[in-house]
Structure 1
């Protein structure tokens, strides 16, 4: 229909079917057929033609005015969409774990926005998995393998979850030497949705060894868990990405390292899409690259 409207306006501008056909590379028969199709679609005669002249009917004049507006809007829409896939501008929506998001992802986002002022970013910090498609999110930074096989993934690096506590807590309560010793300690528990993570897994003699832990503090926010651990409130299980700086500075101490569970992954997941806006792919590239660099430095 848009092509036929372009032809219709060309006929008016060139004052003839043959001239319009030559401009658009169409045969006279094709021009006549497409004009007839346009008139059939609207159910009206759009122009009267003689061997020497061409004039618009009232319906033709109305269509000519509307076609000019419609084609201009279509060009603008196409430019905005195509430009959006090339220019780094527009909105990006993502989600990330609380601690990792606050400490590592947000600084990358700040630098990205500073470099690309036409970009806006909406980030949801949560330690729960979010339905990307249902929530209209462009991508997520996540620990562990994706449970949704339809999502595409980009590996950032390995992740290891460890048990740690403050030196003050260990001085007051002793250092656990075996996973079973945790049953005598106050453990800080993470809650995912409605379920607290009470079963902590380890490797003992090459086999998985689960321990049911207890504690007086449970939260669904990883940042709060780390804060309680730093305050000497108990032992917590955290990703090494979240506590590496605290371990390096001696604010937290890893325990039970010989029994550490198997490593998993840190990755970016995103819905499959034929064409990903450049603003989204550029931010994914920035996060993946800069987090990898930070990890190698750590």
Structure 2
């Protein structure tokens, strides 16, 4: 094979194998056979003339030459994609695919709806919405944008702060009728609390008063869950008092199915951030979605500007 004969499909397969470290994972992702991925890599290495990958029974890693070649391939593929975007842009047609990773409850209740509206506006853009509360390696998983409710410090990614998510205390009218309505932070002691198992320190509730004073209250209960939708259902079912993001329960509050406790108090808020893979930020369709989500998320219940 001529050394100048490098196909884009082989290059794309190589980049994804380098990022995922697995031929089988890339084969599933691309919807092709593992043998096809292997052939792409073999053809690429023959064209380049040096080994790019080191293969073991458990993992595929880059050689020193492969690391340098990978960095150049990423830039080449990005430029090709941007060129296509610019060409299509002359006809006003945004097209292609975008992969988003989002906290599950937030994605189900709000982001999915926003994505549907975005696709109505840009019908040629395909969206892959991955809902998970686990931290994922965006580059490794082929994700363009991630929405996360937590403080973030990953300097390798572009971070766009979207604000803070306001949190409050809620309970069902049935529970309050049976157990009484807390009027002060100290009144919460002895009540059944709905706790998150994946939140450190959830056995203590930090309640902030109207004067900014912080009250630390023991928070106990017989039901715990690792998912925000589990908290929503437990509180709605009268199992106890829950600390919740406003966007998680605003519809239930409006319908009178949940009651906000101590409305002049609140829980500590949570930063809401958008993470963007730098190599994808310059692609037209990704930029469109970034700007759209930032604008629309600011309108959601309980999402407030940076304090």
Task: Tell me, yes or no, if the aligned pair for 2:98 and 2:125 is still in contact at 8 Å.
Answer: yes
Secondary structure, aligned partner of 1:225: helix
C-alpha displacement at 1:216, in angstroms?
1.6
Does the CA contact (< 8 Å) of 2:250 and 2:301 recur in 1?
no
Deviations 1:131-160 (A, max 9, x none): 333433212222243232443233334421
- Aligned residue for 1:147, secondary structure, equals coil
- Of the three residues 200, 222, 229, the one matched with 2:228 is 222
Structure 2 match to 1:209: 215
CA–CA distance in structure 1, aligned partners of residues 78 and 166 of structure 2: 47
User: What's the secondary structure of 1:135's corresponding residue?
Assistant: coil
1:188 aligned partner: 194
The aligned length equals 225
1:83 has 2:88 as partner: no
Unaligned runs of 5+ residues in structure 2 are: 5-75
- Where structure 1 has 5 or more consecutive residues not aligned to the other structure, the ranges are 3-74
Aligned partners of 2:300, 2:239: CA distance in 1, in Å?
29
Q: Deviations over 1:89-119 (max 9, x none)?
A: 2221212222321121101111222333332
Contact 2:253 2:259 in 1 (8 A): yes
The residue that corresponds to 1:139 in the other structure is 145
Distance 1:261 1:233, change over 3 A: closer
Q: How many Å apart are 1:271 and its aligned residue?
A: 3.0
Contact 1:127 1:222 in 2 (8 A): no
Q: Distance in 1 between matches of 2:216 and 2:137?
A: 29
What does 1:246-257 correspond to in 2, within 5 Å? 246-257=252-263
Distance 1:212 1:151, change over 3 A: farther
Which residue does 1:236 correspond to in 2? 242
1:271–1:198 Cα change, 3 Å: farther
By how many angstroms is 1:295 displaced?
4.4
CA distance in 2 between counterparts of 1:294 and 1:277 reads: 26
RMSD of aligned residue pairs (Cα, Å):
3.2
> CA–CA distance in 1 between the matches of 2:196 and 2:270?
18
Tell me if structure 2 keeps the 8 A contact 1:126–1:221: no
Q: Give the secondary-structure state (helix, strand or coil) at the position aligned to 1:232.
A: coil
Equivalent residue number for residue 41 of structure 1: none
Would you say 1:120 and 2:126 are equivalent positions? yes
- SS across alignment from 2:224: strand
Structure-2 residue corresponding to 1:159: 165
- Which residue does the alignment assign to 2:40? none
Name the structure where helix makes up a greater proportion of residues: 1
The normalised TM-score by structure 2 is: 0.63
Looking at CA atoms only, which structure, 1 or 2, has the larger radius of gyration?
A: 1
2: CA distance, partners of 1:219 / 1:252: 19
Indicate yes or no: 2:179 matched with 1:169. Answer: no
- Gap change, CA 1:77 and 1:277, over 3 Å in 2: closer
Match of residue 203 from structure 2:
198
Change (3 A) 1:198 1:90: farther
